[in-house]
Amino acid sequence: MTEQARGGAVSQTLSRGIRVLEILADAGEPLTIDGVAQALGVHRSIAYRLLRTLEHHGLVVRDANGRVTLGPRMAALAAGVAHDLQAEALPELTAVANELGMTCFLAVLDHDECVTLVSVEPRHAVAPVAQRPGTRHPVTAGAPGKAILSLLPPAQWPAASPDAARAVAEAAARGYATSHDEVIPSLRSVAVPLAVRGRGPAALAVVHVSGDADDARIAERLTRSARAVRDALGG
């Protein structure tokens, strides 16, 4: 009642519990119960009950000081996300990363964001570029996002700048997308779309710092791996 009447009623308790998980994930460090309560904007006793429930299921753990963090069970739960896609893609990511000497990763579409699921750094990296799993940014920014959008009809593109729309159209035409300094300055990336039957649109991508890399050659290599993954999953 005091809350919004959004689209359909959502469960207040469950919603708050999820927000606790988000708060803990964003914090990245152990929080006190009070800290969680303040971040949630609720009374301590509420946060206490929510945390006890989450702890009961193993999603949060407490250190010696009583502070709370996300627990390993959380990772175990999420490991099942697109597990077949990840399983098929991982060897390909490793191969590409080592052949090109660049960090290679798999990203998928999540509403209007591009989420990195798994990432592999090359064996011998001159300048190791980390692309942490869980990284999110708007689909309209960066090579992976544009590669993903190139799989969708323009009608489903989120509101984007004309420039971004043109870049996506171009990516769709030539089969791969690039980005220079878009997300992180001095980093370039190349991405190819990856469409698997049933599953949402995805992309294989690499990031690198070298200014004289051959984007087309990289894209060709990525496309080979994308095809291999798609074929393995019968897409």
Residues found near DNA in the complex (CB under 7 A): 1-3, 8-9, 11-14, 16, 32-34, 42-46, 48-50, 66-67
The interface with a copy of itself within residues 154-193 (CB under 8 A) comprises none
Among 43, 77, 166, 231, binds a copy of itself (CB under 8 A): 77
Whether the CA torsion 131, 104, 172, 114 is positive or negative: it is negative
Burial (CB < 10 A; 0-12, 13-18, 19+), residue 39, is middle
Query: Does 139 interact with a copy of itself (rule: CB under 8 A)?
Result: no
Q: CB neighbours (10 Å) of residue 139? A: 28
- Window of 78-86, 139-147, 176-184, 207-215 that interacts with a copy of itself by CB under 8 A: 78-86
**Which residues, listed in sequence order, are joined to residue 31 by a DSSP beta bridge?**
68
Among 11, 66, 181, 212, binds a copy of itself (CB under 8 A): 11
By beta-carbon proximity to a copy of itself, the closer residue of 48 and 215 is 48
Q: Residue 1: which of a copy of itself, DNA, none does it interact with, CB under 5 to 8 A by kind? A: DNA
By beta-carbon proximity to a copy of itself, the closer residue of 17 and 193 is 17
Enter the tokens of residue 171: 């990516």
**Which residues, listed in sequence order, are joined to residue 60 by a DSSP beta bridge?**
70
The answer to whether the beta carbons of residues 53 and 202 sit under 8 Å apart is no
